[in-house]
C-alpha cells in the first residue's frame, strides 16, 4: 500500500513538473524548476540552495571592455537640463553618471540612460539608470501567465502588435505575488490583496505612472476606477528622498527574504522624481542598500524594489527592427517579452 501511494505521489509530482517545464515562455529550465518549487511550498529549499551556491562579488578592478560605462559618448547632460549622477566610486571614470539620450521627440529627450559603478568597493561592475519622461510616454503593466496568473486580464502576457510601432522600452515587474506582501490589480481584477502601506507602482488611465505608498501617496482613498493598474512589492525602498532605515538588517523581511538583503546580486528598482519622471535602476552585485542609494542619486523621492536575480532582471530598449538589453550582461534575451512571459512586466511607449 505504501509503495502504491508513493508511486502515485511521484507520478503526480512528475506530471506537475513536466507541465511546468513545457509551459509557454522563455524561462530557463533552472528558473522553471525554482518557480515550481516555490509554488509548491519549497521556497526554503530554493533559498538554501541559493545561499550555498552564492559567490561573493569581486572587490576592486575596472569594468569589462563591453561595459557601456567605457563607451566614448559625449556628456550632454547640461544641454538636457539633467545633472549627472554623482558617482559612488572615486575617482570617477570619464563620463561616469552622465546622461545619454536614447530617444528624443521634437528635440526633447523622453528616454535617457546613465551608467556608473554600484559602490566604492565593487568597482568592476556597472549599474544602469534609465530616466523616463512620464508626460511624453505611456506605460502598460502586462500580467504574466504565472505571476500574477489567474486572469482574465485586459492586456496580454507579451508585447502586443499595437504597442510595437511606438515601443521604447520594457522592464521587469516584482517578486512572486506570494512573496511580494501585496497585490496586483488591472482592469478591475486583482490577485492578492492591495495592502495599505505597500510600495506600489501605479499606472493611471492616461498611461502615466508613479510610485508611492498605498494609502498615502496613491490609493485607496482614490476610487479604484481612477487607477488602471497597480503592482505592489514589499515596502518603499526610498521615501522622502532617503533610503529606508534598516535595509541591511531587513528586520521582518520588509524588503524580501530571497538571498537576504546583505547579499550582492542582480537587483532592480523603480522610483519617481520630484518632477514626476520615472527612474529604473538595475545592476549586478547590488545590495538593497546600494540599489536604494543609486535611486536616490538619480533623483528619486520614492522608490521600490522590483524583481531580483539574473533570470528576472531586464530593461530592454527598442528601435525599429532592433531590441537591446540596457546592460550587456543582463542574462535574458532582449526578445523575452516578444512571446509569452511567465512574469509581469511593463512596456514604455511614446504617447501624449
Domain extents for the chain? 1-53, 59-350
* CB 212 within 8 Å of CB 200: yes
* CB 22 within 8 Å of CB 231: no
Q: Is the pLDDT of residue 75 over 70?
A: no
pLDDT of residue 263: 81
Range 131-156 average pLDDT: 95
Could you give the C-alpha distances from 293 to 155, 263, 302, 331, in angstroms and in order? 34, 15, 12, 24
CA distance 138 to 209: 8
pLDDT of residue 205: 93
Q: Is the pLDDT of residue 183 over 90?
A: yes
pLDDT of residue 342: 95
Per-residue pLDDT tens digits for 204-228:
999 999 999 999 999 776 556 678 9
Categorize the per-residue pLDDT at 8 as very low, low, confident or very high, splitting at 50, 70 and 90: very low
Least confident interval from 42-46, 197-201, 311-315: 42-46
Amino acid at each position: 500500500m505504501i509503495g502504491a501511494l508513493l508511486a502515485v505521489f511521484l507520478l503526480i509530482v512528475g506530471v506537475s513538473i513536466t507541465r511546468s517545464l513545457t509551459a509557454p515562455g522563455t524561462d530557463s529550465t533552472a528558473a522553471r524548476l525554482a518557480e515550481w518549487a516555490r509554488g509548491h511550498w519549497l521556497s526554503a529549499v530554493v533559498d538554501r540552495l541559493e545561499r550555498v551556491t552564492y559567490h561573493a562579488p569581486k572587490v576592486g578592478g575596472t569594468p569589462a571592455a563591453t561595459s557601456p560605462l567605457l563607451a566614448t559618448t559625449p556628456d550632454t547632460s547640461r544641454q538636457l537640463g539633467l545633472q549627472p549622477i554623482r558617482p559612488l566610486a572615486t575617482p570617477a571614470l570619464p563620463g561616469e553618471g552622465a546622461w545619454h539620450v536614447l530617444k528624443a521627440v521634437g528635440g526633447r529627450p523622453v528616454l535617457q540612460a546613465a551608467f556608473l559603478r554600484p559602490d566604492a568597493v565593487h568597482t568592476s561592475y556597472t549599474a544602469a539608470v534609465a530616466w523616463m519622461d512620464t508626460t511624453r510616454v505611456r506605460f502598460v503593466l502586462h500580467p504574466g501567465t504565472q505571476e500574477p496568473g489567474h486572469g482574465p486580464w485586459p492586456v496580454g502576457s507579451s508585447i502586443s502588435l499595437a504597442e510595437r510601432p511606438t515601443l521604447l522600452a520594457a522592464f521587469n515587474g516584482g517578486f512572486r505575488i506570494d512573496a511580494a506582501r501585496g497585490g496586483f490589480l488591472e482592469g478591475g481584477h486583482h490577485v492578492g490583496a492591495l495592502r495599505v502601506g505597500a510600495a506600489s507602482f501605479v499606472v493611471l488611465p492616461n498611461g502615466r505612472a508613479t510610485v508611492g505608498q498605498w494609502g498615502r501617496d496613491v490609493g485607496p482613498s482614490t476610487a479604484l476606477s481612477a487607477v488602471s493598474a497597480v503592482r505592489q512589492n514589499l515596502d518603499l525602498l526610498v521615501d522622502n528622498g532617503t533610503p529606508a532605515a534598516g535595509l541591511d538588517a531587513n528586520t521582518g523581511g520588509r524588503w524580501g527574504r530571497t538571498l537576504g538583503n546583505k547579499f550582492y546580486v542582480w537587483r532592480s528598482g523603480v522610483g519617481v522624481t520630484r518632477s514626476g519622471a520615472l527612474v529604473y535602476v538595475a545592476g549586478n552585485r547590488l545590495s538593497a542598500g546600494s540599489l536604494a542609494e543609486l535611486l536616490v542619486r538619480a533623483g528619486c523621492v520614492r522608490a521600490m524594489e522590483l524583481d531580483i536575480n539574473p533570470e528576472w532582471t531586464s530593461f530592454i530598449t527598442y528601435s525599429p527592427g532592433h531590441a537591446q538589453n540596457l546592460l550587456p550582461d543582463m542574462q535574458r534575451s532582449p526578445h523575452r517579452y516578444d512571446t509569452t512571459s511567465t512574469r509581469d512586466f511593463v512596456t514604455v511607449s511614446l504617447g501624449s
